[in-house]
Amino acid sequence: MEWRVGTVPWNGRRPVFPLPMALLEIREVTRRFGALAAVDRVSLAIEAGEFFTLLGPSGCGKTTLLRMIAGFDEPDEGALFLDGKPLAGIAPEKRPVHTVFQSYALFPHMTVSGNIAFPLEMAKRSRQEISERVRETLALVHLEDRGEAYPHELSGGQKQRVALARGLVNRPRLLLLDEPLGALDAKLRQEMQVELINLQRDVGVTFVFVTHAQQEALALSHRIAVMNKGRVEQLDTPDRLYTAPANRFVADFVGRINLIEAEVVSGPHGHPGLRAAALGELAAELGPGVKAGERGMLALRPELVRVTEHLEALELRNRFAGRVKELLYVGEVTHYKVQLEAGFVIEALLPNAAPGRARLFKAGDAVAVGWRHDAGVFLRG
């Protein structure tokens, strides 16, 4: 889905809203704490029904942005619009936006049902409607038989589900999730990820998810805004973020990657090629408009790097001899760090189940690595 701020033909001025109207529009929002801009001129539009993720390291401004959407904080500059209406000055309790907090923040003195009924009671729903909606929502998160339990009697995963149910039960326009899976162990986390995807699809509520875990963001989201130092570095779909990172920060933050410093040179057939200080000439597919003399780096995912015993076995233009420096066996795959004779250390990732890959290399083994000319992405700067 492409987002453009269009120009309206009748008077040629910038329109008040982007077209078509987004559910939530964040326009040129800045929030400063002292001299530090925690959020720095961020603009983005979130559409109805989206699973949108704000991804970034701690301190990148994602939580500050979330708090401004919820209403716990106000921007110093810029504005937020929900359904086209400005949110400025509207208290958190008046916004049709609910939050699932990192600590869950379940009311310890209320039962699971009491917690889930709370937003409905605040919205002054009828007693009958409340009990029906609570029952439905308990079923939605598979907690039918835990309605009378108190939060301290629940497991971490169950608390998580109650927090989700409480956030969803009154059908907010927007559900904000602040690192909600952070407190769960790895296995449970993965189960909850699948449940979150299903839940979001079933209820159709727009999710704005905040996380520093890039794998989680890739697994869950329709679109991801990668944030760093208060700015949005790239806003894209998960596969675009992974395969075509816009800059060094995104390439490095999302997944593992080899970054090879290189300069653009004129290749043998008039095509521009790359010359890396460490590796010499490299065959690479460069984006449009890249000219000889530009400097930057080739970003190459480890799973695109092939490793074999013999250099000759690699029918690739980019191939180098080296030695396994270290390796990390994690079950389904093994991560290798290969010290190339040219001096560079390259990372490769080999699946352990692929046919012909029966042999695992050991540290110190002489190997050859190579990659297709179109495997990497050239990043300027």
Partner 1 sequence: MDERGAAREASHAGWTRWIVAGPPTAFLLAFFLVPALIVVAASFREPGEFGGLVPLAGGLGAALSLEAYRFLFGDLVYAQIFAASFAVAAATTFICIVMAYPLAWLIARSPRKRRDLLVLLVILPFASNFLVRIYAWIMLLGPVNLLYTPFAVIAGMVYVHLPFMVLPLYTNLEKHDPALLEAAQDLGASAWTRFWRVTFPLSLPGIFSGSALVFIPVLGMFAVPELLGGTGDILIGNLIKEQFLDNRDWPLGSALSIGLTIAVLAFAGLAALGARRGLKGTEAVS
Using CB under 8 A as the binding rule, whether residue 98 contacts partner 1 is answered as yes
The distance of closest approach from Cβ of residue 197 to partner 1 in the complex, given in angstroms and rounded to an integer, is 23
In residues, how long is the chain?
381
Residues with Cβ within 8 Å of 306's Cβ and at least 6 positions away in sequence, in order, are 314, 316, 348, 369, 370, 371
CB of 96: closest distance to partner 1 in angstroms?
9
Tell me whether residue 60 or residue 168 sits nearer to partner 1 (CB atom): 168
Q: Which stretch binds partner 1 (CB under 8 A): 50-58, 92-100, 295-303, 335-343?
A: 92-100
Q: For residue 80, count other CB atoms closer than 10 A to its CB.
A: 21
Residue recorded with tokens 């309605």: 147
Other Cβ atoms within 10 Å of 111 Cβ, number: 17
Extract the tokens encoding 136: 């439905």
Least distance CB 182 / partner 1 (angstroms): 14
Q: Which of 35, 91, 330, 354 binds partner 1 (CB under 8 A)?
A: 91
DSSP label at 344?
-
| Cβ-based nearer residue to partner 1, 42 or 168 | 168
- DSSP per-residue string spanning 271-288: -EEEEETTTEEE--PPPT
Rounded distance between C-alpha atoms, residue 167 and residue 101, angstroms: 9
Report the half-sphere exposure of 139 (CA within 13 A, side-chain side): 8
Output 180 or 302, the one with its CB closest to partner 1.
Answer: 180
Q: CB 123 → partner 1: shortest distance, Å?
A: 6
Rounded to 10°, the helix 156-168/112-122 angle is: 20
Select from 9, 34, 89, 108 the one that contacts partner 1 (CB under 8 A).
108
Q: Measured between alpha carbons, how far is residue 294 from residues 255, 257, 374 in Å?
A: 26, 21, 19
Nearer to partner 1, 85 or 359 (CB): 85
**Out of 7, 103, 198, 243, the residue judged to bind partner 1 by CB under 8 A:** 103
Contacting range for partner 1; rule: CB under 8 A; set: 21-29, 50-58, 114-122, 180-188: 114-122
Binding residue for partner 1, selected from 110, 183, 244, 333, defined by CB under 8 A: 110
DSSP, residue by residue, 249-274: HHHHHSS--EEEEEEEEE-TTS-EEE
Choose the binding region for partner 1 from 95-103, 238-246, 277-285, 316-324 (rule: CB under 8 A): 95-103
Name the segment binding partner 1 (CB under 8 A); options: 19-27, 117-125, 261-269, 368-376: 117-125
Q: What would the x/- binding string for partner 1 be over residues 128 to 167, using CB under 8 A?
A: ----------------------xxx-------------xx
Q: How far is the CB of 77 from partner 1 (least distance, A)?
A: 24
CB of 99 to partner 1, least distance (A): 5
Distance CA 275, CA 277 (A): 6
Interface with partner 1 (CB under 8 A), residue from 97, 134, 165, 348? 97
Q: Among 335, 317, 329, which Cα is nearest to 375's?
A: 317
CA-nearest of 173, 152, 151 to 162 is: 151
CA neighbours closer than 13 Å in the CB half-sphere of residue 333: 9
Instruction: Yes or no: say if 191 and 184 are a contact pair by the CB < 8 Å rule.
Output: no
> Which 294-323 positions form the footprint of partner 1 (CB under 8 A)?
none
Per-residue binder mask for partner 1 (CB under 8 A), 57-86, x = binder: -------------xxx--------------
Burial environment of residue 351 by CB neighbours within 10 A (0 to 12, 13 to 18, 19 or more): exposed
Residue of the chain from 6, 8, 76, 107 that contacts partner 1 (CB under 8 A): 107
Specify the stretch interacting with partner 1 by CB under 8 A; choose among 107-115, 279-287, 328-336, 346-354: 107-115
Minimum Å distance from CB 336 to partner 1? 44
Would you count residue 93 as binding partner 1 (CB under 8 A)? Answer: yes
Which residue among 119, 273, 370, 376 contacts partner 1 (CB under 8 A)?
119
For residue 1, what is the DSSP state? -
The residue ranges that bind partner 1 (CB under 8 A) are: 70-72, 91-94, 97-99, 101, 103, 105-111, 118-119, 122-123, 150-152, 166-167, 170
